[in-house]
Structure formats: C-alpha cells, structure tokens
Amino acid sequence: MKEMLIMTPGPTEVAENVRLARAKATTNPDIDLAFYDFYKKTCSKLAQFLKTKNDVRVLAGEGILGLEAACASLTEKGDRVLVLDNGIFGHGFSDFIELYGGEAILLESSGKEAFSLEILEKFLEKDHDFKYATVVHCDTPSGVLNDLSSICPLLKKYGILTVVDSVAAMGGEELQVDKWQIDIALGGSQKVISAPPGLTIASISTEAYQAMTERKSPIASFYCNLLTFKDYYEKNGFHIPCQFLISMD
C-alpha cells in the first residue's frame, strides 16, 4: 500500500504543562469574579497579539464556531456576500452564508496558489455590491497563504466588510488586524497556538458590530450571535462586589 504524506497545520501537539493545567479544578465562570478579570486580561493580551484595538473575545467552541458565528451575525435574507474561493475552507463559507439566507457569490481561483489581487481588482471594478466578503488566511489542507495585507484593504476600498478565517495561520503568520482593515478575524486554539481544541478567538470591529445592530431582522441564532459579546464588560453582572455575594450566601 502506497504511503501518503499529508502536510496539514494541525491540530498540533499540546505541551505537557498545558495538559497539566487543564487537570486542575475549575470554578463556575458564571459567578466567579476572578474568572471575569482573567477573561478580560486574556482578551486584552490577545488584542495585542493580533495588533488590534477592536474587541477580542474567546468563544467556547472549536474554530468552526467562529466561522459560522460571523456569517450568522452579519447575514440577512438576500444579502450578497463575496466568497474568495481558492480552497476547501474558502468554498465552505458559502454553506454558512446560504444557511442564514444570504446569496454567496463565489470568485474562484486555483487551490494551489494565493488568490490573485489583479483578478479580485478587476472583478470589483465590475461588481462590488456586497455586504461583506470572506477570505481564508491559510487553507488547512493545502497550506496556501493568501495576502491579507493587500486583499482586505482593497475590499474595504469598496465599502465591503472583511471576514477572515485565520484558524490555521493565527500565531504562525503575520496578522495585523487594524492595519490590514480586517473587520472579523477568527482563530482556533488547536493550531499554531498549540492548545487543545475547543476555543475560538474572534476580533470584531466597530463597523462589524454596527452592521449587526442595524439589521432589519434579528440574528437567527443564540450560540452563534456575536452581539452577545458587545459591551460584555459593561453589561455583565460581575461588577457586584464580593462582599455582596457573600452576604447573599
């Protein structure tokens, strides 16, 4: 039987100290004031890591949760969404878009090379009526790397929101969210970060939040609703002093 060498970027090996840390007893994050501060500090560190001043949130679900959540939160019935398709995960965005009532317009390119900026520019000159566009930073099966530093600013030039799947690249390739004008950047814990599967990292711009709040119809999901995390710290009840919680015991 012929052997095959498959060069994929993960899931990656988890360090022993990380696995041991996961074995420790944990509290209920819903009522633990220490978790509130820990989560906020972690998100702030991730924002620095992603070079952004946008909100950064950690979602309790494998990286695919972030991809669906972005589409669920932005897409309304009839919205035209541009899908830059040069790989399996690039094409896969169309499933989420259509699931939530949008019209996915696929701009296809070879799955063996980075997306051509020239092809994209010529396409947008003729048609740029899109609410948002999706692009994969690094496609998992092929390892093809797309140049976000050029693609996203070009899309924003036409007023198109940008959604980036960086699950396989975040931490291993340069990613400058603000400079490259990325509205929603999505990563996963199980790839370059080398943590166990189960967490999504999401940065969300003010413009992306605005598009969500200005929807004519409510977001058709509870768990995939990114608006849940808007003004999280201001709205959350963890501001209750510890002594108040003790007195309620």
**How do residues 83-137 score in pLDDT, each as one tens digit?**
999 999 999 999 999 999 999 999 999 888 999 999 999 999 999 999 999 999 9
Task: Say if CB 9 and CB 138 are below 8 A apart.
Answer: yes
**CA distances for 146 relative to 8, 135, 149, 176, 241, angstroms:** 16, 8, 9, 14, 48
Please tell me the distance from the alpha carbon of residue 111 to that of residue 87, in angstroms, as a whole number. Answer: 5
Indicate whether 36 belongs to any domain: no
> 157: number of CA atoms within 13 Å, CB side?
12
Indicate whether 22 belongs to any domain: no
Domain of residue 180: give its range.
53-109+118-247
Q: State the pTM of this model.
A: 0.89
For CA atoms 180, 201, 174, 88, the dihedral sign is negative
Indicate whether 26 belongs to any domain: no
The count of domains in the chain is: 1
Indicate whether 7 belongs to any domain: no
The tens digit of pLDDT for each residue in 150-166 reads: 999 999 999 999 999 99
The tens digit of pLDDT for each residue in 72-93 reads: 999 999 999 999 999 999 999 9
Please tell me the distance from the alpha carbon of residue 43 to that of residue 229, in angstroms, as a whole number. Answer: 12
Mark out the alpha helices in the chain (DSSP H runs). Answer: 16-22, 33-49, 64-74, 88-99, 117-126, 148-157, 206-213, 232-235, 242-247
What CATH number does the domain containing 81 carry?
3.40.640.10
Nearest CA among 71, 79, 92 for reference residue 219 = 71
Indicate whether 79 belongs to any domain: yes
Peptide bond between residue 9 and the one before it cis (omega within 30 degrees of 0): no
Higher pLDDT, 5 or 157: 157
Indicate whether 43 belongs to any domain: no
**Can you list the positions of beta strands (E) in 128-219?**
132-136, 161-165, 184-188, 200-204
Indicate whether 46 belongs to any domain: no
Indicate whether 34 belongs to any domain: no
